[in-house]
A and B are shown apart, each in its own frame.
Chain A
Protein backbone atom coordinates (compact mmCIF):
# COMPACT_ATOMS: atom_id res chain seq x y z
CA UNK A 1 0.00 0.00 0.00
CA UNK A 2 1.05 3.55 -0.69
CA UNK A 3 2.05 5.33 2.40
CA UNK A 4 2.05 9.08 2.84
CA UNK A 5 3.75 10.14 6.04
CA UNK A 6 3.42 13.52 7.67
CA UNK A 7 6.11 13.77 10.28
CA UNK A 8 4.41 16.24 12.61
CA UNK A 9 0.91 15.30 13.81
CA UNK A 10 0.48 18.23 16.18
CA UNK A 11 2.32 21.54 16.29
CA UNK A 12 1.86 24.68 18.35
CA UNK A 13 3.64 27.78 17.09
CA UNK A 14 3.61 31.46 17.86
CA UNK A 15 2.63 34.24 15.48
CA UNK A 16 5.55 35.19 13.25
CA UNK A 17 7.39 31.87 13.58
CA UNK A 18 8.54 29.96 10.50
CA UNK A 19 6.85 26.59 10.19
CA UNK A 20 7.89 23.56 8.14
CA UNK A 21 5.46 20.74 7.45
CA UNK A 22 7.08 17.68 5.94
CA UNK A 23 5.45 15.00 3.80
CA UNK A 24 7.03 11.84 2.38
CA UNK A 25 5.48 9.23 0.09
CA UNK A 26 7.04 5.85 -0.60
CA UNK A 27 5.50 4.74 -3.91
CA UNK A 28 7.25 6.89 -6.49
CA UNK A 29 4.18 9.04 -7.12
CA UNK A 30 4.58 11.91 -9.55
CA UNK A 31 2.09 14.34 -8.02
CA UNK A 32 1.95 15.66 -4.49
CA UNK A 33 -0.51 18.06 -2.92
CA UNK A 34 -1.00 20.18 0.18
CA UNK A 35 -4.54 20.89 1.38
CA UNK A 36 -5.87 22.63 4.44
CA UNK A 37 -9.07 21.42 6.05
CA UNK A 38 -11.35 23.70 8.02
CA UNK A 39 -14.82 22.94 9.41
CA UNK A 40 -17.54 23.83 6.95
CA UNK A 41 -15.06 24.59 4.18
CA UNK A 42 -13.88 21.14 3.24
CA UNK A 43 -10.44 20.65 1.72
CA UNK A 44 -8.86 23.58 -0.07
CA UNK A 45 -5.79 23.17 -2.26
CA UNK A 46 -2.79 25.26 -1.27
CA UNK A 47 -0.09 24.06 -3.67
CA UNK A 48 0.66 21.02 -5.75
CA UNK A 49 3.68 19.63 -7.54
CA UNK A 50 3.78 17.37 -10.59
CA UNK A 51 7.54 16.90 -10.69
CA UNK A 52 10.69 17.55 -8.74
CA UNK A 53 11.37 21.28 -8.38
CA UNK A 54 8.02 22.05 -10.03
CA UNK A 55 5.14 23.67 -8.16
CA UNK A 56 1.78 25.15 -8.98
CA UNK A 57 -0.44 27.39 -6.90
CA UNK A 58 -3.73 26.03 -5.74
CA UNK A 59 -6.74 28.01 -4.58
CA UNK A 60 -5.25 29.54 -1.42
CA UNK A 61 -1.44 29.89 -1.82
CA UNK A 62 -1.14 33.22 0.01
CA UNK A 63 1.07 32.97 3.08
CA UNK A 64 2.52 29.60 2.02
CA UNK A 65 5.38 28.30 -0.05
CA UNK A 66 6.48 24.78 -0.95
CA UNK A 67 9.61 22.86 -1.77
CA UNK A 68 10.08 19.64 -3.71
CA UNK A 69 13.78 18.86 -3.96
CA UNK A 70 13.25 15.10 -4.13
CA UNK A 71 10.41 13.15 -5.71
CA UNK A 72 9.30 11.55 -2.49
CA UNK A 73 9.28 14.69 -0.33
CA UNK A 74 7.03 17.74 -0.48
CA UNK A 75 7.36 20.42 2.17
CA UNK A 76 4.93 23.17 3.08
CA UNK A 77 6.45 26.34 4.52
CA UNK A 78 4.76 29.10 6.46
CA UNK A 79 7.30 31.93 6.39
CA UNK A 80 5.59 33.89 9.16
CA UNK A 81 2.76 32.01 10.80
CA UNK A 82 -0.45 33.85 11.58
CA UNK A 83 -3.42 32.86 13.72
CA UNK A 84 -5.64 32.43 10.64
CA UNK A 85 -3.35 29.63 9.53
CA UNK A 86 -4.46 27.50 12.45
CA UNK A 87 -5.84 24.46 10.66
CA UNK A 88 -5.49 20.80 9.75
CA UNK A 89 -3.00 20.36 6.91
CA UNK A 90 -3.26 17.29 4.71
CA UNK A 91 -0.65 16.05 2.27
CA UNK A 92 -1.66 13.72 -0.58
CA UNK A 93 -0.14 12.07 -3.63
CA UNK A 94 -1.22 10.44 -6.90
CA UNK A 95 0.73 8.44 -9.48
CA UNK A 96 -0.16 10.85 -12.27
CA UNK A 97 -2.69 13.51 -13.18
CA UNK A 98 -6.43 13.17 -12.74
CA UNK A 99 -8.01 11.58 -15.77
CA UNK A 100 -11.53 10.22 -15.75
CA UNK A 101 -11.13 8.97 -12.23
CA UNK A 102 -8.06 6.94 -13.09
CA UNK A 103 -6.15 8.23 -10.10
CA UNK A 104 -7.13 8.78 -6.54
CA UNK A 105 -5.57 10.81 -3.77
CA UNK A 106 -3.75 8.95 -1.03
CA UNK A 107 -3.64 11.14 2.05
CA UNK A 108 -1.39 11.38 5.03
CA UNK A 109 -2.84 11.42 8.54
CA UNK A 110 -2.66 15.20 8.74
CA UNK A 111 -0.77 17.83 10.71
CA UNK A 112 -2.84 19.88 13.10
CA UNK A 113 -1.23 23.31 13.46
CA UNK A 114 -2.20 25.81 16.13
CA UNK A 115 -0.79 29.33 15.87
CA UNK A 116 -1.02 31.35 19.06
Chain B
Protein backbone atom coordinates (compact mmCIF):
# COMPACT_ATOMS: atom_id res chain seq x y z
CA UNK B 1 0.00 0.00 0.00
CA UNK B 2 1.37 3.38 -1.03
CA UNK B 3 1.26 5.75 1.91
CA UNK B 4 2.25 8.69 -0.27
CA UNK B 5 0.14 9.63 -3.27
CA UNK B 6 1.77 11.67 -5.99
CA UNK B 7 -0.14 13.32 -8.80
CA UNK B 8 -0.12 13.49 -11.68
CA UNK B 9 1.78 10.32 -12.57
CA UNK B 10 2.73 11.69 -16.00
CA UNK B 11 2.96 15.24 -17.26
CA UNK B 12 3.97 16.40 -20.73
CA UNK B 13 4.15 20.14 -21.36
CA UNK B 14 5.70 22.68 -23.68
CA UNK B 15 8.73 24.74 -22.77
CA UNK B 16 7.70 27.90 -20.93
CA UNK B 17 4.58 26.48 -19.28
CA UNK B 18 4.05 26.28 -15.53
CA UNK B 19 3.21 23.12 -13.65
CA UNK B 20 2.47 21.82 -10.16
CA UNK B 21 3.09 18.36 -8.76
CA UNK B 22 1.39 17.17 -5.59
CA UNK B 23 2.32 14.78 -2.80
CA UNK B 24 -0.34 13.76 -0.28
CA UNK B 25 -0.59 11.49 2.73
CA UNK B 26 -3.21 10.73 5.37
CA UNK B 27 -0.46 10.78 7.99
CA UNK B 28 1.66 13.60 9.38
CA UNK B 29 5.25 13.87 8.20
CA UNK B 30 8.10 14.95 10.44
CA UNK B 31 9.86 16.06 7.26
CA UNK B 32 9.47 15.77 3.52
CA UNK B 33 11.99 15.70 0.72
CA UNK B 34 11.77 16.13 -3.03
CA UNK B 35 14.17 14.28 -5.29
CA UNK B 36 14.72 14.44 -9.04
CA UNK B 37 15.88 11.45 -11.02
CA UNK B 38 17.23 11.62 -14.55
CA UNK B 39 17.29 8.57 -16.83
CA UNK B 40 20.08 6.16 -15.93
CA UNK B 41 20.86 7.92 -12.67
CA UNK B 42 19.84 7.70 -9.04
CA UNK B 43 17.56 10.28 -7.39
CA UNK B 44 19.20 13.51 -6.28
CA UNK B 45 17.87 15.64 -3.45
CA UNK B 46 16.26 18.96 -4.40
CA UNK B 47 14.95 20.17 -1.05
CA UNK B 48 13.94 19.20 2.48
CA UNK B 49 10.99 20.85 4.23
CA UNK B 50 10.36 20.45 7.92
CA UNK B 51 8.02 23.16 9.20
CA UNK B 52 4.28 23.26 8.41
CA UNK B 53 3.54 26.03 5.92
CA UNK B 54 7.18 26.28 4.90
CA UNK B 55 7.95 27.55 1.40
CA UNK B 56 11.34 27.10 -0.23
CA UNK B 57 12.48 28.36 -3.60
CA UNK B 58 15.19 26.90 -5.79
CA UNK B 59 15.48 29.12 -8.88
CA UNK B 60 12.28 28.37 -10.85
CA UNK B 61 11.15 25.65 -8.43
CA UNK B 62 8.92 26.46 -5.45
CA UNK B 63 8.29 23.85 -2.77
CA UNK B 64 5.52 24.16 -0.22
CA UNK B 65 4.82 22.06 2.87
CA UNK B 66 1.20 21.97 3.99
CA UNK B 67 0.23 23.60 7.27
CA UNK B 68 -0.76 20.22 8.71
CA UNK B 69 2.40 18.58 7.32
CA UNK B 70 0.37 15.99 5.41
CA UNK B 71 0.96 17.29 1.92
CA UNK B 72 3.44 19.11 -0.25
CA UNK B 73 3.60 20.65 -3.68
CA UNK B 74 6.30 21.43 -6.21
CA UNK B 75 5.65 24.27 -8.64
CA UNK B 76 7.87 24.89 -11.64
CA UNK B 77 7.66 28.22 -13.41
CA UNK B 78 8.54 28.53 -17.10
CA UNK B 79 9.59 24.90 -17.46
CA UNK B 80 12.70 24.12 -19.49
CA UNK B 81 13.63 20.87 -21.31
CA UNK B 82 16.33 20.42 -18.68
CA UNK B 83 13.59 20.01 -16.07
CA UNK B 84 12.59 16.71 -17.68
CA UNK B 85 12.86 13.83 -15.23
CA UNK B 86 11.14 11.82 -12.53
CA UNK B 87 10.18 13.84 -9.47
CA UNK B 88 9.87 11.87 -6.25
CA UNK B 89 8.58 12.97 -2.88
CA UNK B 90 9.76 11.15 0.22
CA UNK B 91 8.16 11.65 3.61
CA UNK B 92 9.60 10.73 6.96
CA UNK B 93 7.04 9.92 9.61
CA UNK B 94 7.43 10.44 13.33
CA UNK B 95 8.69 6.89 13.85
CA UNK B 96 11.54 7.60 11.41
CA UNK B 97 9.86 5.47 8.78
CA UNK B 98 10.60 6.97 5.35
CA UNK B 99 8.29 6.40 2.39
CA UNK B 100 8.53 7.35 -1.27
CA UNK B 101 5.77 8.34 -3.62
CA UNK B 102 5.49 6.61 -6.99
CA UNK B 103 6.82 9.69 -8.75
CA UNK B 104 5.73 12.16 -11.41
CA UNK B 105 7.38 11.74 -14.79
CA UNK B 106 7.74 15.17 -16.36
CA UNK B 107 8.55 15.76 -20.02
CA UNK B 108 9.18 19.31 -21.19
CA UNK B 109 9.14 19.62 -24.97
CA UNK B 110 11.21 22.32 -26.70
Contacts and interface: CB of A to CB of B under 8 A. Distances in A.
B72 to A, nearest CB: 12
A16 interface: no
Contacts of B4: 42
A40 B96 contact: no
B103 A107 contact: no
B106 interface: no
Interface residues on A, range: 20 to 34
Nearest to B32: A101
A19 to B, nearest CB: 19
B42 A109 contact: yes
A101 B88 contact: no
A104 B45 CA distance: 7
B9 to A, nearest CB: 7
Given A40-B102, A41-B102, A105 B45 contact: yes
B71 to A, nearest CB: 16
B44 interface: yes
Contact of B42 (A42, A97, A98, A107): A107
Contact of B48 (A90, A97, A104): A104
20 contacts: A40-B9, A40-B102, A41-B102, A42-B6, A43-B43, A45-B98, A90-B42, A92-B42, A98-B92, A100-B50, A101-B30, A101-B31, A101-B49, A101-B50, A104-B45, A104-B48, A105-B90, A107-B42, A108-B42, A109-B42
Interface of A: 4, 9, 35, 40-45, 90, 92, 97-101, 104-110
Given A98-B96, A101-B49, 5 more contacts: A42-B102, A100-B92, A101-B50, A105-B45, A109-B42
The 5 A-B residue pairs whose C-beta atoms are closest, nearest first, are A107-B42, A101-B31, A42-B102, A43-B100, A101-B48
